[in-house]
Structure 1
Amino acid sequence: MPTAVLENYINGEFVASTATETLDLINPVDESVVGRAPISNEADVKAAVDAAQRAFESWSRTTPNERQKALLKLADAIDAHTDELVEAQCRNTGQPKSVIAAEEIAVSADQVRFFAGAARIVEGKSAGEYMEGFTSYVRREPIGIVGQVTPWNYPFMMAIWKIGPALAAGNTIVLKPSDTTPESTLVLARLTKGILPDGVFNVVLGNGGTGAALVGHPALGLVSITGSVRAGIAVAVSAAQQLKRAHLELGGKAPAVVFADADIAKAASGIAEAAFFNGGQDCTAATRVLVHESIHDQLVDALVEKSKTLQPGLPDDPDSFYGPLNNINHFTEVTKKVGAIPAHATIVTGGKRARDKGFFFEPTIITGVEQKDDIVQEETFGPVLTVQPFTDEAQAIEYANDVRFGLASSVWTKDHATAERLTRALDFGCVWINCHIPLVAEMPHGGFKYSGYGKDLSAYGVEDYTRLKHVMSSHD
């Protein structure tokens, strides 16, 4: 039986792409072909943008109350279709189904409800007379048509992080999901039918060329991407050429700084889970342990023991902590990076393929690394954790900040003063204390340096999808 070709979602309907070229969707668990997606072209992108443009005039004029009601209905629909969303995503990612349900679908429904509430708190400052005879106030307005590109590590949740604040602020959307993981996004699109007006949310499938066509469309007011540094730079360059806004959530190389007074068992457990969750395919994952030299060996032993309980496995296996890496190219890249570590470094556990079939990789811990090593400096985006000793607080801060990324970090200590000093010194968008990786909808997520700019989640995330207008009226 021939494999079905997926369709774009434009103006409230699923429509076939005008392009003839397709790409295979590969299940990373068994490497089977589970579908085909079109490599949409400029004509498809234009149709989607035209639909969003037509819908913007009416959607942008809806009241916050109306947008809130729509988002609350969407959250209920997500909850009601959890099983379908889990199956669709699992075909593309191979993640444990229980993890998808609990950590993506349920969390995403909650985040949509947050953005439903946030739609009603977008406001300007009060009016005032800043010049005699004139009154001024500020309008906060939607930007317009937003182009969004989502990654393959958390396909559904990243779509929600994109569309939630954009819709709450009154924008319309054209979204391109990752070429390897489009199916849960298409289910989401179908769920919006009858909840959002036609044309408010559109999905165009394809590869990097499709994304470039979307990002380069002149009608967009903002482009937003969660992805690699390389892709983010390309989006920023394209946006700059048309002076449109860019919102970039890119890579990370998060340090976990463990001081001598830390609870070793708690630190090892929390760091290992944060390192290997979702196979390390998380830009906030703990990737670099910086530990005081006096407890280095103890912590390494504890990390290795914990890693034995955090093994990759099949989607329906209740003992699976994470699934396969997403695709063969990424699996090959992670394998090469681990295989290329310098002679002075040691793989104390893991370091190789975990199963005969599929893109599974063992939880890996590497010691003896030096600050200049590529495995320390560059994002691996796999289940790989390096461990380095430090002698004092100043060296810990130096090592932690000496990477080009600035997304997330954590500090492990029982001393309040130490923790507070580190929260200021660490050059990262998030600093966790005695934990690593929990996120809440109410707090902003986003980084510094090569981790990009702009915030996801929180009221700040909604503000990123608005523009400010000064209105001034004469009293005469």
Structure 2
Amino acid sequence: MRPRDRWMLAGGRWSQGTGDETFTVTDPATGEPLGVVAASSAADVDTAVAAARGAAPGWAATPAAERGAALHAAARAVEERMDELAALVTAEMGKPTGDALGGVEAGIGTLRQYAELGPLHGGRSLQGGRDAADFMVREPWGVVAAITPWNDPVAIACGLVGAAVATGNAVVHKPSERTPHTGAMLAELVAGCLPDGVLNMVTGGGAVGEALAGHAGADVVAHVGSTRAGRRIAELAARTGARTLLENGGADPLIVDAGVDPSWAAGQAALGCFANAGQICTSVERIYVHEAVAEPFLDALAARARNLRTGPGASPSTELGPLVDERHRTRVHQQVEKALADGARALAGARLPEGPGCFYPATVLAGCADHMAIMAEETFGPVAPVRTVAGFEQALEAANRSHYGLAATVLTRDMAHAQAAWRTLEAGTVKINAVFGGAPGGAATPRRASGGGFGYGPELLDEMTAVKVVHVQAAP
């Protein structure tokens, strides 16, 4: 069991670490402090990586079925404490309780998925001479540094850690400094089902992340988070030769075609823009609506924004919780104010509310243009910036005019348009007539500034392993 004042896990032992810096975590709904956390030092990162390096050979040699059984045990351990874990998510980043539970359930499912797929993951034989054997085998890289975000801290961590552990790697995990209590509890539950040193954890902000990403002992650096952080991680990993898996930010477009029901389309847009207060990697960040349905669509979207029930995530009636902290709220509001100054019109929201907490209203902006930062950059807040277009082709061109390429959504009744959309849109994921959803096991590679490499699905097991070609021939 982890002592409450210890925030570093290395080699199966929780400790206070050697760092002398602390930071305070606050509840974004009330501003009240949740706890004071000790940040890890560079020496602590060395210790955690060394522990992972020491555990890696033994874990790689463990039969895959045993590794799978350990992950199944970890999934059960998380499931037994899921209510507590979800409550920590809500307290630390404000996510409504139902959504927080959904994230934990997704994490449990991911652990089970990799527990089953890990033992089945292998190489292939090659067609060589009859006097020889040729085959390709997959082997763990060794040490995986996993740096995960605050917006879905359990599901994403379970994905990266689960895939790495299932394939025989040891892990050093750094959860976001905004959700350290969640990260520590998850590490306690999962590491308790694994041999000492297979899962280690360090805590802190950007300096700790840089020390881990640039560590010579890390073979793979897997990161989900902001574009700025992802670029810095890529730069640091390039110096050591570590493999990188990056899911950075996005400015995901939503196209609303002529002929769709504007009320239904507004519901999809509201879900895409306002779920989790817009703090989802694949949130809708910009909307292109056909002029034929623009007016009723905007009216319906603004009405939905005004009618969302805002409140603390712990309240059962809350539909729109707070943003994660005051710094992030300030950034979101600055983008909105800049858009208004550049000619956008606010149909809902766009004003800082009075009172405690980091709440921000669901905001709808009409008259937006592609050059505005609100359309070009990631906002990561409950903001729906809308540009009216004259035709579907114009919308496709505008949607592709971005340095991001994470995901995109198209709402249309025209199957020819749907076909053209998924063929044309330069994004890792294209969704037709649903802003969220999809079959289990889907995996895509982000494009351009949004990152690279598979971060989900069975393909993530490939990313966590190196391929070796073996040729065996009898001596003469």
TM-score under structure 1 length normalisation? 0.96
- Alignment partner of 1:372: what SS? coil
Match runs of 1:228-267 below 5 Å: 228-267=226-265
Match of 1:104 in 2: 103
Alignment pair present for 1:174 and 2:169:
no
Match runs of 1:464-475 below 5 Å: 464-475=463-474
Show CA shifts across 1:222-263 (max 9, x none): 111111111111100111111111111000111111111223
Q: Is the 8 A contact 2:350 2:361 kept in 1?
A: yes
- Alignment partner of 2:380: what SS? coil
CA gap of 1:262–1:269, structure 2 versus 1, over 3 A, is same
Unaligned runs of 5+ in 2: none
Cα distance, 1:6 vs structure 2: 4.3
Q: Distance in 1 between matches of 2:307 and 2:198?
A: 45
CA gap of 1:294–1:409, structure 2 versus 1, over 3 A, is same
Match of 1:451 in 2: 450
Q: Distance in 1 between matches of 2:269 and 2:64?
A: 41
Q: Distance in 2 between matches of 1:7 and 1:220?
A: 21
Show CA shifts across 1:249-282 (max 9, x none): 0001111111112232222111211111111011
Query: How much identity, in percent, do the aligned residues show?
Result: 33
Q: Distance in 1 between matches of 2:116 and 2:23?
A: 39
CA gap of 1:69–1:461, structure 2 versus 1, over 3 A, is same
What CA RMSD, in Å, does the superposition of the two structures yield over aligned residues?
1.6
Quick one: which of 198, 209, 217 aligns to 1:219? 217
Match of 2:81 in 1: 81
Match of 1:32 in 2: 32
Match of 1:144 in 2: 142
- Alignment partner of 1:308: what SS? helix
Match of 2:428 in 1: 429
Quick one: which of 292, 295, 305 aligns to 2:293? 295
- Alignment partner of 2:441: what SS? coil
Show CA shifts across 1:26-54 (max 9, x none): 11111122111122111111111111111
Amino acid of the structure 2 residue aligned with 1:142: P
- Alignment partner of 1:141: what SS? strand
Match of 2:62 in 1: 62
Q: Distance in 2 between matches of 1:310 and 1:74?
A: 37
Which of structure 1's runs of 4+ aligned residues deviate more than 6 A?
A: none
Match of 1:282 in 2: 280
Q: Is the 8 A contact 1:441 1:457 kept in 2?
A: no
Q: Distance in 1 between matches of 2:183 and 2:164?
A: 16
CA gap of 1:303–1:343, structure 2 versus 1, over 3 A, is same
Q: Is the 8 A contact 1:48 1:174 kept in 2?
A: yes
Q: 289-298 or 119-128: which moved more? A: 119-128
Cα distance, 1:87 vs structure 2: 2.3
Match of 2:197 in 1: 199
Unaligned runs of 5+ in 1: none
Q: Distance in 1 between matches of 2:438 and 2:208?
A: 31
Amino acid of the structure 2 residue aligned with 1:83: D
Amino acid of the structure 1 residue aligned with 2:145: G
Alignment pair present for 1:419 and 2:418:
yes
Cα distance, 1:7 vs structure 2: 1.8
Match runs of 1:276-425 below 5 Å: 276-341=274-339, 342-425=341-424
- Alignment partner of 1:88: what SS? helix
- Alignment partner of 2:254: what SS? strand
Q: Distance in 1 between matches of 2:105 and 2:13?
A: 26
Q: Is the 8 A contact 2:306 2:349 kept in 1?
A: no
Report how many aligned residue pairs link the two structures. 472
Cα distance, 1:288 vs structure 2: 1.1
Q: Distance in 2 between matches of 1:305 and 1:179?
A: 36
